[in-house]
Amino acid sequence: MEEPTNDPAGKPNGTLNFTRYVIGGLCLVLFLALTGVGYLKVEERREGGLRPFVSAENKRCIDCHIRKDVAIGGINDWKISAHAPKGIGCVECHRAEKGEADAYEHEGSLISTLVTPKDCMRCHEKEAKEFAKSHHAKAAQFIGSLDNFLGNVVEGPEVGATGCAGCHGSVVKVMENGKLHPATWPNSGIGRVNPDGSKGTCSACHARHSFSVAQARQPESCGRCHMGPDHPQIEAYYESKHGVMFSANKDKMKLGQPTEKWLPGKDYLYPTCATCHMSATGTQDTTHDVGDRISWTLRPVISTRLENHEVRRKAMTQVCSSCHSAQIVERFFTQMDSGITLYNEKFGKPAKAAMDRLRDMKKITPTPFDEEIEWVFYELWHHEGRRARHGLSKMAPDFIHWQGFYEVAKHFYTKFLPLVRELSPDVAKELLAQESHKWVRQGMTKEEIAQMLEFYDKELQGKRGGG
Amino acid sequence: MAIIHDNVGRRRFLSQTIMGFGLLFGLGTLGLRFVQFLMPSTNRKPYETVLVGTDAQVPPGEAIPMDLAGHKIVLLRTDEGVMAFSRRCTDLGCLVSWKKDREQFVCPCHQGVFDKNGRNIAGPPPRPLDRYEVIKRGEQLYVKLQNGSVG
Amino acid sequence: MEPTTTVTAVSTEPAGESGQSAKVKDWVSYIQKDLPAHLHWWPYTLGAIPLALFGLLVASGLLLTVYYVPSPEKAYESVEQITREVYLGWFVRGVHRLSVDLMILFLFFHVIRAFVTRAYRPPGELKWVAGALVFFLILAMGFTGYSLVYDNVSYWGMTVVTGMIGGLPIVGKPLLLLLRGGEEVSAGTLLRLYDLHTKLLPLLLGGLVLGHIVAVRLLGFAEVEGSRGVHPFYPDHTLTMGAIALALLVLIVDLVMIFPPTLGPPADLQNVAGDVSPPWYFSAPYMWITLLPGAVSLWSLLGAAGLFLVYPYVDRALARRGWPMFKVNALVATVVVLLATILMILDEYM
C-alpha cells in the first residue's frame, strides 16, 4: 500500500480529489436547479388580445394632433378605450365618403367630425338597430309639441338649442364649408338628427373617446338627462334601496366586465339603471331599446299601457327575478300599478277632462302658457304628477308622497280647483265628482272628527295635531 | 488500455470521472437551456376574431386590403363568398396586389400570379394564397387571427 | 514562463502509456506556474469571480441579442417579450442581470482587497492600471446595457449621463454628439449605445481583462506575510477556481429562480419621472452629484477616477517619503466604503 503521493510543491492528491468531488457535486446541484428552471412559470403576459396597434394612417393623425397640441384629450382618452388595441382609431370612425353631407377635407383626407350611429353600425349593428327603433332615437322629434313651444317660444330659441336639445338632441345643420352650425353643434343629445339621416348618438351614453361600458353602466350616465323636477329618475333611484346598496358597494360592482360576466344576482348584486332597462340577465340578451321592458308610459297626462305590455312586463319581471323571489316582485308591481291607477283616476283624468271642457267652452285661449291655469295644469301632470309616478316605479317613498302626490293633491285642490271654479263652477263640480274627492266637498263626518280627537287624546297626551 | 493498480491513480480516476460526468450533466443542461431559449416557439397562440366590416362593404370585383396588427390581408368576394387572403406570396413572401382588370393577384417579385380564388396559376408560387378564416354573423364579417407578432 | 518538472513526477502510469499523457504534459507546461500559497486564501480568490461572471455575461448577452431589437419603438417590447413570452427568456435575462450585479459587487470587493494589500507594489503597477481600466469599462458596460431596456430609468439615465458628459470642457460637446448621435437623445442614441454595449466595449473589455491577467502572470504577486510555499497553477488552482465558478453558477441559477427579472414602466418621454434612480452600483456617484453643485461634483468624480488610475505611482512616491501606506490605504478604504454606503442609503430614502 503506497502512501498517497503529493504533487510535489502542491496539495496532496487527496485535496485535489476532494475538489473534484466538490465540483461534481456542485454540478449535480446545478443540474437539478436547471431542471427546475424549465418548469418555472414566470408572470404570464397580460391577457390575450392583439397588441395595441396604430396603423400608419392613424399615426399621421395622432402625430400631427400631438405636435399641434389640438384636442389631445380625445387621443389620450382613446388610448385607454377598447377600440385602441384592435387598431380602431381616428380614421376608422371619422372617415367620410365623398358626397356625405358633413364630409370635408382635412390635411389630405376626407373626414367628418360627426360620428353617428350609422358609422358605429359598421361594427355594432345590433346595438344600432335596437337603438334606432327605441324611444331614445325619437327624442328630438318633439318639434311642434307643447314642450317645444315652451322652450323655443316662451323661453327663447337659444334655450331650445342648448337646454332642450342638450338632452333631446338637436337637428344638426351643416354649413357651406362642411363645418357644423354652432346653434346645432356641439350636441350629444340622444335623439340628435344627423346629416346622414341617422338618429341619435352613441356617445350620449358611451362618452367619447373611451366609450367605456363601465362608464355607460353607471347611473350618472343616464342621470344626466333622466333627472330633475319633471322626471327625477336618478334622484328616486338613489333614494330607493337599490340606489343605496349600489352606492355602498360600488367597488364590488365590476362595472367593466363583458356582458357574459356581468349578470345580476350572480356577478353583481345591486342594479343600476342599465341592469333593469337594458342589460343582459341569465336569460335575456342586452337590448339597446330602453323601452323593451317598460309596460307603462309615465310621460303623458294620463299614463297608459304600451303596446305588448304583457311581454314587456314579463321581461322586466324576469330581471327582478334574477335576485328576488316571485312574491316580492309580484307585490311590488301590484303596488306600482295601483299607485299609477290612483294618479290616473283621481287626478289625471279629471284634470284633463276639465281643461278640455274649458277649452271647448272657449274659457281658455288656444295659445298655451298664456294663462295661469295652463301653467298650473302643466306642472300638475308634467312635474309633480310625473314625480309621483316615477317614485312609484322605483319604490322611492319621498318622491311618491312629499315630492309627488302631496304636491299633486295640494296644487289640485288649492290652485287648480279655484282657477277652474273661477272660469266655470260647473266644470269645477264635475272635477270633484268622484268618491275620492268627497272629503273636500263634504268635509269630515262628525264620527271621523271624533275618532281623530280620540287618537290625539290617547296616543299623544292631548296634544292636538300641529302643536 | 493499461490497468492502473495503485490507489492514487484509482482515486484520481474516480474523482475525475465524477467531475467529468458532473460537468457533462451540469454544463450540458445549461447549454440545453440556452439552446431551448434560442428556439422560436411554434405554439398555437390563442385566436381572436376581429371585426372587419359588413358584407355589403366588399363589392364584387374589389379587393379590400387591410393591415390587422401586422397581418396584411385582403378581403375579396370569391365564388364561395367573401374570403380573407394573406397578401404574402407563397413563393418567397412578397406582398401581392390585386389587379382589378385582370381579376388576378400579381406578385411583383417573380411575377407569380393567383386567380380570383387565390389559386396559383402562373409563376413560381407553389401553392394558393394562405387564407384566414372569415366568420359571418348576420351582416358583419370577422377575420380569425392568431395573437402575437406576424407569422 | 518557468517550465516545471513537477508534472512528470506526478504520473505513476506504466511506461507504455506515454503517448496521450505526454501531450497533456506539453500544453500544461505552457500554462503552468508556481503560485504562492496565499492565492488559496479566500480574499485572494475574489478576482476569479468577476472573470467567471464575465464569461456568463458574454454567453447570456449573446443569447439576448437574438431577441432584442435596438429601436425605440421595439426595444421595450422586445425586452418584455424576452421576459414574458420567450421560453426561458426570463431565465437568460435574469442570469444576465444578476451576473452584472454580482460581478460589480465582487469587483468592488476585489478592488478593496487589492487596495488594502497594496498588490500594485513595484514591479506590479501595470496590474493595477489595467485593472482600473477594466473597472471603468465595466461601469460603462453597465450603463450602456441598462439603457437598452428603454424603460423610464433607461431613458432618463441616458439623457442625464450624456448630458453630464456634454458638460465637460473641450471634449464634452463632441463626446455628447458622438454618444447621442445628435443633439438630442434619439433612436440614434439607442443604436449607438447598443453598438457600444455589444461590439466595441466587449472587445475592449475582453482585451483589457486578458491584459490584466497576463500582467498578473508576468509581473507576479506582491509579497504577503505568512504566505509560505507554492502550488502549481494546474491542476490545483484551476480546480479551485472551477469549483468557485460552479458554486457561483448554482447560486445565480437559484437566485434567478427565486427572484426573476422584472420590468419597470416604459419610457415616458413627456414626464421626467421624479423617482428614477440608477442601478445600485451608480447610486453613490448619483447621490454625490445630486448633493453637490454641478461643477464641483463632476470634477471631484473625475479627479477621484484619475487618482484611482495612477494610484500605484502615488503610493510609490508617498512610500518613499515614509508614509505608512498600509495604514493609509486601510483608512482611505474605510472612508470611501463608508461614504459610498451612506450615499447609497440616502438614495434609497430620498
Minimal Cβ distance to B2: which of C16, C87, C89? C16
Determine the number of helices (DSSP H) and then strands (DSSP E) in chain A.
Answer: 25, 4
pLDDT, one tens digit per residue, over B32-44 is 999 988 888 776 6
Residue entry with cell 264635475:
A430
Minimal Cβ distance to A26: which of C88, C232, C243? C243
Confidence at residue C15, expressed as pLDDT on a 0 to 100 scale: 45
Q: Cα-flanking dihedrals φ and ψ of residue A390, to 5°?
A: -65, -35
- Interchain CB contact of B16 with A (< 8 Å): yes
Mean pLDDT of chain A: 86
Strand partners, A174: A180
Contact C104, C281 (CB under 8 A): yes
Confidence at residue A53, expressed as pLDDT on a 0 to 100 scale: 58
The residue of C240, C262, C269, C271 whose CB has the most chain A CBs within 10 angstroms, and thus the best one to mutate to test that interface, is C240
Strand partners, A12: A6
Contact A107, A67 (CB under 8 A): no
Give the Cα separation of A405 and A380 in Å (integer): 10
Q: Which residues of B touch A30 (CB under 8 A)?
A: 26-27, 29-30
pTM recorded for the entire structure: 0.56
Give the Cα separation of C102 and C248 in Å (integer): 9
Task: Give the three cell numbers for residue C24.
Answer: 497533456
Task: Give the three cell numbers for residue C204.
Answer: 475592449
Q: What is the mean pLDDT of the segment spanning C1-12?
A: 44
Q: Cα-flanking dihedrals φ and ψ of residue A389, to 5°?
A: -70, -40
Distances (CA, A) of A171 to A105, A120, A121, A176, B103: 23, 19, 20, 16, 45
Confidence at residue B51, expressed as pLDDT on a 0 to 100 scale: 73
pLDDT, one tens digit per residue, over A40-72 is 765 544 443 344 456 667 878 888 898 888 888
Residue in B with minimal Cα distance to A39: B33
The most confident of A113-117, A204-208, B25-29, C203-207, by mean pLDDT: C203-207
Q: What percent of chain C has pLDDT over 90?
A: 36
Give the Cα separation of C189 and C143 in Å (integer): 13
Determine, for residues C10 and A36 on separate chains, whether the beta-carbon distance falls below 8 Å: no
User: Touching C: which chains, 3+ CB pairs < 8 A?
Assistant: A, B
Burial annotation C45-57 (CB, 10 A radius, 16+ → b, else e): bbbbbbbbbbebb
Determine, for residues A26 and C91 on separate chains, whether the beta-carbon distance falls below 8 Å: no
Q: Cα-flanking dihedrals φ and ψ of residue B63, to 5°?
A: -105, 120
Write a three-state SS string for C18-48: HHHHHHHHHHHHHHCCEEEHHHHCHHHHCCH
Q: What single string gives the DSSP state of each residue in C136-161? A: HHHHHHHHHHHHTT-BHHHHHHHHHH
How distant is the Cα of C176 from the closest Cα of chain A, in angstroms? 26
Residue entry with cell 308622497:
A401
- Interchain CB contact of C6 with A (< 8 Å): yes
Determine, for residues B138 and A20 on separate chains, whether the beta-carbon distance falls below 8 Å: no
Determine, for residues B33 and C246 on separate chains, whether the beta-carbon distance falls below 8 Å: no
User: H or E element: which one contains B25?
Assistant: helix B7-38
Quickly count: other Cβ atoms within 10 Å of residue C287's Cβ.
23
Residue entry with cell 380625445:
A74
Determine, for residues B6 and C12 on separate chains, whether the beta-carbon distance falls below 8 Å: yes
Q: Cα-flanking dihedrals φ and ψ of residue B72, to 5°?
A: -95, 115
pLDDT > 90? residue C155: no
Where residue A89 falls among pLDDT bands split at 50, 70, 90?
Answer: confident
pLDDT, one tens digit per residue, over A414-435 is 999 999 999 999 999 888 888 8
**A99 phi-psi bin (left φ>0, alpha ψ -120 to 50, beta other):** left
Q: What is the mean pLDDT of the segment spanning C308-334?
A: 90
Q: Cα-flanking dihedrals φ and ψ of residue C146, to 5°?
A: -65, -35
Quickly count: other Cβ atoms within 10 Å of residue C69's Cβ.
17
pLDDT, one tens digit per residue, over A122-180 is 778 888 999 999 999 988 887 667 777 888 888 888 888 888 888 998 888 888 877 88
CA atoms within a 13 Å half-sphere pointing along the CA-CB vector of A5: 15
Task: Give the three cell numbers for residue C10.
Answer: 506526478
Confidence at residue A326, expressed as pLDDT on a 0 to 100 scale: 93
Chains A, B: CB contacts within 8 A come to: 100
How distant is the Cα of A334 from the closest Cα of chain B, in angstroms? 40
How distant is the Cα of B69 from the closest Cα of chain A, in angstroms? 6
- Longest pairwise C-alpha distance within chain C: 78
Where residue A300 falls among pLDDT bands split at 50, 70, 90?
Answer: very high
A162 Cα distance to chain centroid = 20
Residue in C with minimal Cα distance to A5: C10
CB within 8 A of A362, min separation 6: which ones?
none
pLDDT, one tens digit per residue, over A337-349 is 999 999 999 999 9
CB within 8 A of A106, min separation 6: which ones?
none
**A143 phi-psi bin (left φ>0, alpha ψ -120 to 50, beta other):** beta
Q: Hey, CA dihedral for A287, A288, A290, A292, is it positive or negative?
A: negative
Q: What is the DSSP letter of B134?
A: E
CB within 8 A of A76, min separation 6: which ones?
none
Q: What is the mean pLDDT of the segment spanning B106-129?
A: 90
Confidence at residue C23, expressed as pLDDT on a 0 to 100 scale: 62
Q: Which residues of B touch C17 (CB under 8 A)?
A: 2
Contact C152, C265 (CB under 8 A): yes
How distant is the Cα of C63 from the closest Cα of chain A, in angstroms? 17
Minimal Cβ distance to A49: which of B6, B14, B48? B48
How distant is the Cα of A31 from the closest Cα of chain B, in angstroms? 5
Q: What percent of chain C has pLDDT over 70?
A: 91
pLDDT > 50? residue C5: no
pLDDT, one tens digit per residue, over A9-19 is 445 566 788 88
pLDDT, one tens digit per residue, over C26-80 is 777 767 777 887 877 778 888 889 999 999 999 999 999 999 999 888 888 899 8
Q: What is the mean pLDDT of the segment spanning A87-101?
A: 82
Task: Give the three cell numbers for residue C317.
Answer: 512616491
**How many residues are listed for chain B in this entry?**
151
Strand partners, B66: B73
Minimal Cβ distance to B36: which of C66, C88, C246? C88
Low-confidence winner among A48-62, B46-60, B130-144 (lowest mean pLDDT):
A48-62
**B138 phi-psi bin (left φ>0, alpha ψ -120 to 50, beta other):** left
User: H or E element: which one contains A65?
Assistant: helix A56-68
Write down the H helix ranges in chain C. 6-10, 18-31, 48-65, 75-84, 89-116, 125-147, 152-166, 172-180, 187-195, 201-219, 238-258, 283-291, 294-320, 325-349
Mean pLDDT of chain C: 84
pLDDT, one tens digit per residue, over C180-233 is 888 888 888 999 999 999 999 999 999 999 999 888 888 888 877 777 777 777
Give the Cα separation of A32 and A72 in Å (integer): 54
Strand partners, B54: B140
More reliable by pLDDT, B69 or B25:
B25
Residue in B with minimal Cα distance to C60: B34
**A21 phi-psi bin (left φ>0, alpha ψ -120 to 50, beta other):** alpha
Interface of A with C (CB under 8 A): 5, 7-11, 15-16, 19-20, 22-23, 26-27, 29-30, 33-34, 36-38, 40, 42-45, 51
Where residue C19 falls among pLDDT bands split at 50, 70, 90?
Answer: low
Confidence at residue B58, expressed as pLDDT on a 0 to 100 scale: 80
Task: Give the three cell numbers for residue B5.
Answer: 493498480
Where residue A86 falls among pLDDT bands split at 50, 70, 90?
Answer: low
Determine, for residues B12 and A16 on separate chains, whether the beta-carbon distance falls below 8 Å: yes
Q: What is the DSSP letter of A58?
A: H
Q: Which residues of A touch B36 (CB under 8 A)?
A: 38
Contact B48, B148 (CB under 8 A): no
Determine, for residues B26 and A13 on separate chains, whether the beta-carbon distance falls below 8 Å: no
